[in-house]
Amino acid sequence: MKLMHDRSLFVLFFVSFFIPSICAQEADSVSYPSMKISGTLKNKFEYASETGMSRFSVRNSRIGASGNINSFSGYKAQVELSNEGRFEVLDLSGSLKPVDGLSLTLGQTSVPIFNQYIVSPSEMMFANRAFIGKYFLSTRDLGFRADYEFKIGSVPSSFELGIYNGNTINDPVWRDRLSYGARLAVGSMKGFRSTIKYYDYQNEDIHYLFYGADLRYEARNWKLETEIMKRDSRVEAESDMLSYYFQGAYFIPLTKSRFFDRLVPAARWDAIDKNPDNKGFDVNRLTVGLGFAFEQKNISSILRLDYEWYFIENELDILNKYPEMDSDKFTVELVFTF
């Protein structure tokens, strides 16, 4: 009951404070301070064909505010009202921009290893994340991150460097060893883009080294993306892990539809392995999907129909918490993003 009360207070605070602030900002046309409200609502139905079980769920219900206080400082705050029934604080950070292209962020923020289009509910191509985005590491931590944007010739590029507690989110623990990572990105989201990344993650119980690379190409009406990531364990109790994915989508305009403006067929092959001594990957998965999407000025939506086929060579503990996890599945998902 206390958790529900806390959620209600947060929503009431958000509506009573942030929304009037936006209206006042638009009316006065003031550049600073600025505020942008964003959110994602992700609802879905799943049917596991191997067990005959089904369920409805609210997978994500995110809401947040971000903006600039003046020309050299900004902020970001985001919460998850219901992550499979759990309330979570995701982003709480402030940034300073001392020179053009450089941003220094302190607080609870993202680690420089994951692509947003793999882990963010508003940008994902499928109802369920790729193995890389789900089973390797939390996407956020408490710490410090420096981002620098520059050009290699005429190619836009960026470099990220971060230092973190190494205990994921919402837990400001004391550490004698901090986690750190870096990522170099070359290219833009339109056309070719590639990144390489490294992350040293450690706390009292575990010590992992993550490293990987990705490559993507996006044209006007299609895109292809691929990534590989390795986790090396420095403790005997945990095993190494290797995963990759290859995915693509095509965007077909619908000019005569009353409800949608794009049809989005998509396909993904991903695999994960925790037994490097065995040949091949422990689990492979094929996902095919068909999306019905529309976009307006301040909101976008997509209705997805996905089906997943699992090809299992060796059972994995991370996929065996309940029978439906590695069962072939049909998913209907409705996502609203604003």
Q: What is the pLDDT of residue 8?
A: 46
pLDDT of residue 275: 82
Structure tokens at 254: 């619908």
pLDDT at 16 > cutoff 80:
no
Letter string b/e over residues 37-53, b meaning 16 or more CB atoms within 10 A of that residue's CB: bebbbbebebbbeeeee
pLDDT at residue 27, as a whole number:
41
Q: Half-sphere exposure (CA, 13 Å, Cβ side) for 51?
A: 13
Residue-wise pLDDT tens digits, 207-260: 999 999 999 999 999 999 999 999 999 887 788 999 999 999 999 999 877 789
Provide the H-helix boundaries in the chain.
Answer: 2-13, 19-28, 116-119, 131-135
The pLDDT confidence band at residue 12, using thresholds 50, 70 and 90, is: very low
Average pLDDT in the 293-321 region? 93
Q: Are 54 and 16 within 8 A, CB to CB?
A: no
- Tell me the residue ranges of DSSP E strands in the chain: 36-48, 53-70, 73-83, 86-96, 102-110, 140-152, 155-164, 179-187, 191-202, 207-218, 222-233, 241-250, 252-253, 262-273, 283-295, 300-312, 329-337
**Residue owning tokens 């994951």:** 114
CA distance 99 to 71: 10
Coil, helix or strand for 305?
strand
Nearest to 36 by CA among 26, 44, 28: 26
Query: Where are the chain's structural domains?
Result: 2-337
Cβ-proximal residues to 181 (8 Å cutoff; 6+ apart), any chain: 111, 112, 113, 161, 162, 164, 197, 198, 199, 200, 201, 210
Closest to 10 (Cα-Cα) out of 69, 65, 67, 74:
65
Report whether pLDDT(9) > 80: no
243 or 176: which carries more pLDDT confidence? 243
Nearest by Cα to 158 from 197, 120, 129: 197
pLDDT bucket at 1, cuts 50 / 70 / 90: very low
Other CB atoms within 10 Å distance of the CB of residue 123: 12
Quickly count: other Cβ atoms within 10 Å of residue 230's Cβ.
Answer: 18
**Domain 2-337 classification at class level:** mainly beta
For 112-154, what is each residue's pLDDT tens digit? 999 999 999 999 999 999 999 999 999 999 999 999 999 999 9
- For residues 7 and 81, is the Cβ–Cβ distance under 8 A? yes
Q: Can you read off the two tokens belonging to residue 68? A: 């600039």
Tell me which residue of 240, 229, 237 sits closest to 275, measured CA to CA. 240
Q: What is the pTM of this model?
A: 0.87
Q: Give the bridge partners for 287, in sequence order.
A: 268, 308
The whole-number pLDDT of residue 30 equals 56
pLDDT in tens, 194-209: 999 999 999 888 899 9
Question: Is it the case that residue 266 has pLDDT exceeding 90?
Answer: yes
**Tens-place pLDDT, residues 40-88:** 999 999 999 999 999 999 988 999 999 999 999 999 999 999 877 788 9
> Does 10 have pLDDT greater than 80?
no
